[in-house]
Amino acid sequence: MKNNKKIIAANWKMNGSEELMKEFSQLTPPKHNDVIICPPFTLLDSAKTLLPNFIKIGAQNCSEEDNGAFTGEISATMLRDSHVSYVIIGHSERRTLYRETDTVILKKVESVIKNELTPIVCIGETLSEKKANKTLEVLEKQIDASITRVNTHTRLIVAYEPIWAIGTGLTPNEYEIRETHLHIKKKLNLHFNIDVPVLYGGSANAENCSKILSVENVDGLLVGGASLKKHDFEMICNC
């Protein structure tokens, strides 16, 4: 996806059903935005069969390994064979609940790129880090540890998701989003010498989407809760 359109990505997390997928199969192509839906692994197959072609499919995680004795894991190779195009890597829920470190995240990103899929790498600060004015420092550290070490010139999307904004109804103000995105974008573009799309995620919804999308250097949204309601998601896609 290399054009001037914004990217609207849905992260269904551990939610959704065949029924919901059927509802989403009725979505109509938005004029100005590209759409990615990342359902749980068990719904990837129905996503492929039911969703219209304009919607690209993503997974929410993968193993850092290609194959082997890793019970319960799914590799990027397997996802590629399941017609997935994107993989969310390093979501804060995986970093905190499943103790994924920057080192593991780096390996996952490398595996995703090696398999010719596009990683959507999540970064973000906690509330206490924000209060201590450490946002940019934390983001730089995450980028240095798990993104700029990757050797890629094409496939990469970064999602800035302030942890305190996820599922809380809170969002940074436009000034904060502008500053943070500018900082992330400058660093990535300087390093990779290409334009790396940077999405915003955290309580994005049908009401605030136009405001957030109009902020400079916001290339799209990674939407959680609001992506589970067809009507809301459709409105966001048409923002």
Residues that bind ligand 13P (CB under 6 A): 11, 91, 161, 166-167, 201-204, 222-226
- Cβ proximity to ligand 13P: between 197 and 201 the closer is 201
Q: Which helix (H) or strand (E) holds 159?
A: strand 157-160
Question: In the bound complex, which residue of the shown chain has the CB atom lying closest to ligand 13P?
Answer: 224
Active-site residue, 65 included: no
Cβ atoms of 118 and 126 closer than 8 Å = no
- Cβ proximity to ligand 13P: between 191 and 211 the closer is 211
Within 4-131, strands assigned E span 6-11, 33-38, 55-59, 86-89, 118-123
Q: Which is the catalytic residue, given 64, 91, 93, 181?
A: 91
- Cβ proximity to ligand 13P: between 52 and 167 the closer is 167
Instruction: Measure the CA–CA gap between 199 and 218, rounded to whole angstroms.
Output: 6
Q: Closest separation between CB of residue 11 and ligand 13P, Å? A: 4
Active-site residue, 83 included: no
Q: Closest separation between CB of residue 169 and ligand 13P, Å? A: 8
Residue 195 CB neighbours (<10 A): 11
Spatial CB neighbours of 53, under 8 Å, sequence gap ≥ 6: none
Residues belonging to the active site: 91, 161
